[in-house]
Structure 1
């Protein structure tokens, strides 16, 4: 993040979500507000997407939202009524929330949160009374204190959507955030992460090198990545006893209906629940 500016990568992720609605027919994830909140020229954005490619990244971003919101639906069925969107960017869940009686807390760097509210007003997207905005710097602020100050009930279950954020954080910030989530009874989170470069195959290494260079240019460098085994140990130590971690082959099988293949490393989708019941 640059002081006083919104996140450039948040805008980029929103563009991929919008383009997915057209180029892929929203086959994985439907978002009727994606283009409205983006506020960009549709034809130019689509032309740029077709010219630059990066279909794999676009599909992954759609898949992570689908995985997160499918998991959220299950949590709501269990009785969860608090939803926290960490690093909300231009995420639109709070403005198309289908679950009566749920409260949504949107957490983001203050400059990005302010920029989003401007975009909502410009797009004519109403803000429900159930939405609360919370300004947080994940590297320095105490997340749970900020949420409780904003009205979160830390004694009741909460579901955390944490998408497109972990790859930019230090390991210390990731651990601190997971510790905060685990402090909530029945706290549940979905996030994506990337493995270190040495675990990637040749094509994925090239894709990551390109991505690293692009985000570094806008002042939002990626971290080195997380080792899945180390992450799973941390989750267990923090009290997450229900963990689902999808690698590239599993993501391909579940959301594209294609053979998984043998590709290792790269982007993962992970769901973890504290105090849950292990399922076979």
Structure 2
């Protein structure tokens, strides 16, 4: 998960699943070789005590469930940053991270000299928590980054972006990872309508859960375990989306193309011929849509 539930951030409570996601990304740096997604910021951002504990025993996050989740998390980060690289080569200079949570791209941005501006969009409470972690870790906030504080229940996303300097007449690459499953289907569609108004040449990458009917028995069991865990910490999943219907919606909204990457495609692209057998799978797909 990337952004905190509204009821939690308003009480100043950090998201347990957001920190769990960050911990799994950090564990990837210690456990897996070769790295699918190198990230030198992942460990320091956890804070000194959590980083020390993970370095002392990273194998506590190497059980079969954690390995599968870790693979899914690092592959989605690698996927969207590969798309971003393609966009930058095509002239895109705006990168919008919706529900940024503890995402680290802005603090290791390799395209600063090319003028890439990063906008991290999240709830104000989430951003205060993250900024505290950054300060404690001694990680500088680069001038190429803008924090865009948005209460997704109340605020106008498009207006908030423009107020923060987003150029609606210029294309952007948009990352929206680890969020849609925590929204209703109508909430997802509302945000997609806003993103569909972005300029030609824009690219949107987001992940989503598919209906349980599309899963094999093992995937159903794993999905059920994870769903019970996120519900238990007060961050329940709210939606599933059918890939075919979702693709049709995106095309109807004005995107010129939309493709949903399956776990098999991602495994072939990012995990082929690994000695450690690291693979992704389960109920989550990644959609990439272009204007």
Would the TM-score normalized by the shorter structure come out above 0.5?
Answer: yes
- Counterpart among 67, 81, 94 of residue 69 in structure 1: 81
Q: Quick check: 1:197–1:224 contact (8 Å CA) kept in 2?
A: no
Q: Secondary structure, in 3 states, of the residue corresponding to 1:54?
A: helix
Unaligned segments of structure 2, at least 5 residues: 275-279
Q: Quick check: 2:14–2:129 contact (8 Å CA) kept in 1?
A: yes
Q: How far 1:177 moved relative to its partner?
A: 1.4
Per the alignment, residue 277 of structure 2 pairs with none
Q: Calculate the TM-score normalised by the size of structure 1.
A: 0.91
- Distance in 1, matches of 2:66 and 2:251, equals 35
Q: How far 1:255 moved relative to its partner?
A: 1.0
Per the alignment, residue 157 of structure 1 pairs with 171
Per the alignment, residue 174 of structure 1 pairs with 188
Structure 2 residue 17 is the aligned partner of structure 1 residue 9 = yes
Q: How far 1:258 moved relative to its partner?
A: 5.7
- Distance in 2, matches of 1:125 and 1:103, equals 18
Per the alignment, residue 278 of structure 1 pairs with none
Q: Quick check: 1:106–1:133 contact (8 Å CA) kept in 2?
A: yes
Structure 2 residue 106 is the aligned partner of structure 1 residue 98 = no
- Distance in 1, matches of 2:167 and 2:35, equals 36
- Distance in 1, matches of 2:239 and 2:138, equals 39
Higher relative contact order (CA 8 A, sep 6+): 2
Q: How far 1:131 moved relative to its partner?
A: 0.9
- Counterpart among 266, 269, 272 of residue 289 in structure 2: 272
Q: Calculate the TM-score normalised by the size of structure 2.
A: 0.88
- Distance in 1, matches of 2:58 and 2:261, equals 29
Structure 2 residue 231 is the aligned partner of structure 1 residue 231 = no
Q: CA RMSD in A?
A: 1.9
Q: How far 1:50 moved relative to its partner?
A: 2.7
Q: Quick check: 1:201–1:264 contact (8 Å CA) kept in 2?
A: no
- Distance in 2, matches of 1:133 and 1:21, equals 26
Q: Secondary structure, in 3 states, of the residue corresponding to 1:240?
A: coil
- Distance in 2, matches of 1:265 and 1:197, equals 10
